[in-house]
Structures are given as structure tokens and as C-alpha cells.
Amino acid sequence: MAEEEVNLTPMLDIVFIMLIFFIVTATFVKEIGISTSRPSDAPENEPPPEARKNIQMEVTPDCWVILERRRIDPGQVGPNVQRLLAERPGANAVVSIQGDADTQCVVEVMDQIREGGVAGDISLRKAPEAPQ
């Protein structure tokens, strides 16, 4: 007796043709998602680079100026600002006014800042009250 064999070649041909058909006709969709920005690793208590660039000083009610934790006369603001501008070119000035500081004293400090070479903005702000 002769053994009968099943010829699988035509079936494999059909499977490969169907596979090629599905690969060619498949559409690939690009997923659209939300882009997120992760927080930086910089410490939170460190001021941003823009804030460090400003020259900050305080005018006290008795007409003294506190600049870099030093108490100076308003007439000495100009040379100190020149020195700070050499370190931070293009810096702006921020003047904090403590309590009831005299307006004439504040204007004198602003004039000294301009003579020191600050060409940008001079911002005025009221200094926060110290807790008692």
C-alpha cells in the first residue's frame, strides 16, 4: 500500500501572501501625548539667575543704606554700585524702603545709583515688616 501525503506548500503560500498583504496595508498610528517638563534639580531656596543679577539694597528710616549686609552712608552708594556693576554687567537696582524712610534720602540713593552707572531700571519696594 502506498502512503498518502498531504501537500502543505499551497497552504503556506497563501499564509505568506496574506501576511505580506496585512503588513503592506497596515497603518501605523503615531500616538499623540502631552509633553511634560520635569522640575530642575536646583535647590528651591536658591534664587533664579535673574534675581542674583540685581543689585539689592535697603534704605533705613534713619537714612542709612544696607548693601550686601553692610551699613553705608547714602553718599557711598555710587562707588559701591560701580564695583558691583563690574561684577554683574547690565544689572538693575532694587531699593527696599524700610518703615518711614525719608523721601529725600530715597531720592539721594536713587541719584547715587544712577551716578554709579545703572542704566536699567531702579525698582522700589516696601521692605517687609519684621515680626515682633
Number of folded domains that form the chain:
1
Is the pLDDT assigned to residue 18 strictly greater than 90?
Answer: yes
106: Cβ contacts below 8 Å, ≥ 6 apart: 59, 95, 97, 124
Let me know if residue 117 belongs to a domain. Answer: yes
Check: CB of residue 74 under 8 Å from CB of residue 65.
Answer: yes
Spatial separation of the C-alpha atoms in residues 43 and 41, rounded to whole Å:
6
What pLDDT does 91 receive?
85
Report in angstroms the alpha-carbon separations of 10 from 13, 17, 23. 5, 11, 20
Tens digits of per-residue pLDDT, 49-90?
555 578 889 999 999 999 988 999 988 999 999 999 888 888
Let me know if residue 83 belongs to a domain. Answer: yes
Let me know if residue 63 belongs to a domain. Answer: yes
Let me know if residue 44 belongs to a domain. Answer: no
What CATH number corresponds to the domain at position 93? Answer: 3.30.420
CA 7 to chain centre: 73
What's the pTM?
Answer: 0.57
Mean pLDDT of 94-111: 90
